[in-house]
Amino acid sequence: MKFIFKRFDLKVPTRIGFRKSFGKIFVAKNRKIVPVRHPATVVHESKQFSKLVEDYKILKTLQSNCPLIDSCAQYRRFEEGLIPHEFVELHCYGDWKNCKYFQKERYVQKVQ
Ligand code: SF4
């Protein structure tokens, strides 16, 4: 993983930072890099299984863009050039389920 971070000019995390990076998206050189735990983690330490499943869920999220793009004010701000492209790659085209605007909108829809 260290090699990949260096290869794409990303800041190499500390040992503890590596663990926190599992399941997170890093944007570099028009690519998305998602560190995940090795599947053999299950064999060696079964209590890590739920974390492993959580890490891999991000891959499913990445298969589609945020469903709120057409109505989202933040995305419109990006189209107007007010928000950097990296934000959109990380959230709207990336981990949109954990976007605070997405979660807020979902909360509003549940209340109505
Ligand atoms: S990910 Fe967030 S900012 Fe992007 S379109 Fe969805 S709700 Fe809007």
Tens digits of per-residue pLDDT, 10-48? Answer: 999 888 888 889 889 999 878 899 998 888 877 776 777
Any atom of ligand 1 within 6 Å of the Cβ of 83 = no
Q: Are 10 and 34 in contact (CB under 8 A)?
A: no
Any atom of ligand 1 within 6 Å of the Cβ of 68 = yes
Specify the residue with its C-alpha closest to ligand 1, atom 5: 69
pLDDT given at position 50: 83
Q: Are 58 and 34 in contact (CB under 8 A)?
A: yes
pTM of the predicted structure, to 2 decimals? 0.79
